[in-house]
Chain A
Amino acid sequence: MLRKTFESDIQQLKDELLLLGSMVEQQTLDAVEALKKRDLEAARRIYAADAKINEKRFAIENQVMILIATQQPMAHDLRLLASIFEVSAELERMGDYAKGIAKVNIRMGDEPLLKPLIDIPRMAKIASSMLHRALTAFVNEDAEAARAIPEEDDEVDGLYNQVYRELMTYVMSDPRTIDRANYLLWAAHNLERMADRVTNICERTIFIVTGEMTEIDVSDDEMKAE
């Protein structure tokens, strides 16, 4: 095969991107689990581990720059490398959301949860699963799968609205709960944003395959959620 080294460099970058994605997934699930259990030690650990995600993102960026400079990619290869650059940034921001949830946990200190967590862990599970499949579609350049995944965002938005309404009822019946409600809303909002960013990854996958940058329609639910 012509340019065998380049091909294997690209494969290695895709592997690194998958690894970064799995780090983000794990951080997200761990952060929510720690919140559910009010495990402050775990939250601090998750908060600190975000640095590893940032580090990996910069390593990927650096490798993309080296390949663009040295291999002069064209057409599909260029779209792919530009997209890896973009997706690594998306993943890093998702990592920040997980870190944000850990931060909420730390800030709550000794205060108990306003209510047991049910919908927030479900949101985390769906968002992580969407991320996992979106990244698989990305590295496999599977445009069809990439088009389907964003539809599941509706479910995450629906859960967010449910959490929102539920927390509002607590606040209305006892305004002193406003801080504790706000903490949980913050965590839920982070998960909702994470699922939105999965859509951006899917858009990039379609861009790599077709060369066209399409905006995947987000549902009206998001307007309510925002």
Chain B
Amino acid sequence: MNKIIIEHLSLQYADGTESLRDVSMSIVANAITVLFGPAGGGKSTLLRCLNRLNDLTEVRVASGKILLDGENILDPQTDVIALRRRVGMVFARPVVLPLTIRGNLTYGLELAGEKRKSRLDEAVEHSLKLAALWEEVRDRLDDPAIALSGGQQQRLCLARSLAQQPEVILLDEPTSGLDPISTGKVEAALQELKKEYTIVLVPHSVQQAARTSDYAAFFLQGELVEYGEGKEIFTNPKNKRTEDYVEGRFG
């Protein structure tokens, strides 16, 4: 089932240069879709469009639609706050709030009006378990979050995003600053999470794209060059440019 359908999306920077050119693709529910390619290809820009984070930058939608469960989220009438609850985001560098571990997870829910302690505790435990962090922090939930290691902080950010009970999780190079073990833990968590969520990932390397993807989309200079099942893209790509890139012989 398609969770998100992108139709003929074109974006421009303020100076008129093109950022994305006529991109059409579907994002399948309960799967990991990776957007990969060289820097400046438009993959992060596209990712940010999926929960309207580009509203804050100098990027303009020239044309096209992004349908989330059939509704165009680019419509000016869209409630952006509600959208971002449905479509959560995890960034390259973990941005933990200057609060306790628990506080990082309950902050958003409290802001949304949830006051019942039992509900909040439940959300803390559930989201930490989903992010594969529960066992490591269950005894120190009231410690400052900043005391966690980089890998733990990143999983805390993932948990924070999950505490909002989103439907889609966007991740922008979530393991670029992590060691192989922490990276492995985040990747393993994603493989579990996809059973319940739709995941869109911009990986920090081709290898990560290959490891994690159910579906993969190769972006080059604003163009969606090729899109398909991960195991096809990384063993038998149809486009010569995709092949050159995944083989590492670009340029």
Q: Is A173 an interface residue (CB 8 A)?
A: no
Query: Whole-angstrom distance from the CB of A138 to the nearest CB of chain B?
Result: 25
When the two chains form their complex, are residues A70 and B191 in contact, meaning their CB atoms are under 8 A apart? no
Contacts A2-B184, A4-B191, A70-B230 known; A65 to B235 CB distance under 8 Å?
yes
| A172 at the B interface (CB under 8 A) | no
Within B225-250, which residues are at the interface with A (CB < 8 Å)?
A: 230-231, 234-235
A interface: dominant SS: helix
Assess the B211–A2 pair: CB atoms within 8 A. no
Chain A residue contacts of B188, Cβ below 8 A: 1-4
Please tell me the number of chain A residues within 8 Å of chain B, measured between CB atoms.
11
Chain B, 159-202, CB within 8 A of any chain A CB: 181, 184-185, 187-188, 191
Evaluate contact between A66 and B231: CB separation under 8 angstroms.
yes
Q: A3-B184, A4-B191 are in contact. Are A72 and B235 (CB under 8 A)?
A: no
Contact with B along A1-27 (1 / 0, CB 8 A): 111110000000000000000000000
From 74 to 96 in chain B, residues with beta carbon under 8 angstroms from any chain A beta carbon are: none
Known: A4-B191, A5-B191. A69 touches B234 (CB 8 A): yes
Q: Which residue of B lies closest to A66 (CB)?
A: B231
Chain B contact patch, size range? 10 to 19
Task: Give the docked Cα–Cα distance between A69 and B179 (Å).
Answer: 21
Inter-subunit contact B185/A70 (CB<8 Å): no
B234 proximity list for chain A (CB < 8 A) = 66, 69-70
- A4 proximity list for chain B (CB < 8 A): 188, 191
Q: How far is the CA of A71 from the CA of B184 in the complex (A)?
A: 12
Interface presence of B57 (CB below 8 A) = no
> Is B131 at the interface (CB under 8 A from chain A)?
no
CA distance A72 to B209 in the complex (A): 11
Residues of B within 8 A of A (CB): 181, 184-185, 187-188, 191, 207, 210-211, 213, 230-231, 234-235
**Pairs of residues from A and B, 8 with the lowest C-beta to C-beta distance, nearest first:** A70-B210, A2-B184, A69-B234, A66-B231, A69-B235, A72-B207, A70-B234, A5-B191
Give residues in A with beta carbon < 8 Å to B. Answer: 1-5, 65-66, 69-72
For this complex, 28 residue pairs linking A to B, each with C-beta atoms less than 8 Å apart, are A1-B188, A2-B181, A2-B184, A2-B185, A2-B188, A3-B184, A3-B187, A3-B188, A4-B188, A5-B191, A65-B235, A66-B231, A66-B234, A66-B235, A69-B231, A69-B234, A70-B210, A70-B211, A70-B213, A70-B230, A70-B231, A70-B234, A70-B235, A71-B210, A71-B211, A72-B207, A72-B210, A72-B211
